Amino acid sequence: MINQLHKRWWKVLGAVLMLYTFTAGMMIQVPARFVLHETIRNLFFHVPVWFTMILLLLVSLVQSVRFLRTGKMVHDIMAAETAAVAVLFGCLGFLTGMLWGSFTWGDTFSWLFADTKILGAFIGLMIYAAYFILRGSINDEEKRARVAAVYSIFAYMLLIVFIFVIPRLTDSLHPGNGGNPAFSTYDLDNSMRTVFYPAVFAYFLTGLWIASLRVRVRILHYRKHHINVL
Amino acid sequence: MRFFIRLLAVLLTALHPAWLLAQSSDQAEMATGLRSNGLIWIVVGVILIILCGLLLYLYNLDRRITNMEKEQ
């Protein structure tokens, strides 16, 4: 992945898919459904934000494992920076979900506890907040990297449990959870998938782009102090 | 670059021939009026301008960091 930091093709692909998402997401015919109305289009904008968070954290997990295997600091840098961007996407997911939910589920004030998946995602984000607190509390860089890498393996497993497993076992308003069907029932002719899947890639690649810039700045910082992290 | 522009053009035309069709009458209320008089394009335009601005900003950051890397 390190040799992809300066490549241009995936950044261009992400930008093009982003433009496609925001054009097609607004313009295509969507199924008309009661309660949802036009807000069904939020499937193209709200859901990929969460997918991106989970994918970026997966990248962070892979980099953590690679750090443990190789001991190269660049993997630790990549793990930390992708996790940071993932948390940003998680916060955006919360804000957009609050807005959407307050109009379709009609619940503004108890939003955190209104739904198992929201609470699960919140706990997941808190686990990653603890990841950064843990990093900040260790001064020795090698030690910090090792402890954080081990912690992030546990953190990702917990995140998967809280976001994907527990909401399926209990009641949830989110489609695809608690016995609810996923969006295949709302989208009979699969037309929404033609925007939804590119949207996931668009957000993910853009998130990676932001993370790659942060990584490069960190590498520059180290190089300024004559430390080679590669 | 040109490849991606072509890819986008193919995607846009192949996937959504239904764009120009009028929406059939459904019971649930949808923004059909907004689309029929064309005003939705203005919203899409605004979104695209903001998005292009953000992406250009990101591109500029990328280039600046590349310059810093070359200086060292």
pLDDT digits (tens, 9 = 90+) for B31-51: 765 555 666 777 888 889 999
- The predicted pLDDT at position B1 comes to 58
Tell me if A192 sits within 8 A of A183, measured CB to CB: yes
Are B16 and A27 a contacting pair at CB < 8 A? yes
CA distance A150 to chain B (A): 31
Question: Pick from A15, A24, A213: which is nearest to B65 by CB?
Answer: A213
Output the six-digit token pair for A116.
Answer: 């198992």
Nearest to A125 by CA among A57, A215, A193: A57
Nearest to B15 by CA among A42, A192, A202: A192
- The predicted pLDDT at position B52 comes to 94
pLDDT digits (tens, 9 = 90+) for A17-58: 999 999 999 888 888 878 888 888 899 999 999 999 999 999
CA dist A45 to A138, B20, B52, Å? 37, 23, 17
Are B18 and A38 a contacting pair at CB < 8 A? no
CA dist B49 to A23, A26, B43, B55, Å? 11, 14, 10, 10
pLDDT over 80 (residue B6): no
Q: Name residues 9-48 of chain B within 8 A of A (Cβ).
A: 11-12, 15-16, 18-19, 21, 23, 26-31, 40, 43-44, 47-48
CA dist A186 to A30, A31, A34, A166, Å? 9, 7, 11, 23
| Residues of chain A where predicted confidence (pLDDT) is lower than 50 | none
- The predicted pLDDT at position B26 comes to 46
- The predicted pLDDT at position B54 comes to 93
pLDDT over 50 (residue B55): yes
- The predicted pLDDT at position B2 comes to 59
End-to-end CA distance of chain B: 29
Nearest to A191 by CA among A18, A31, A23, A19: A31
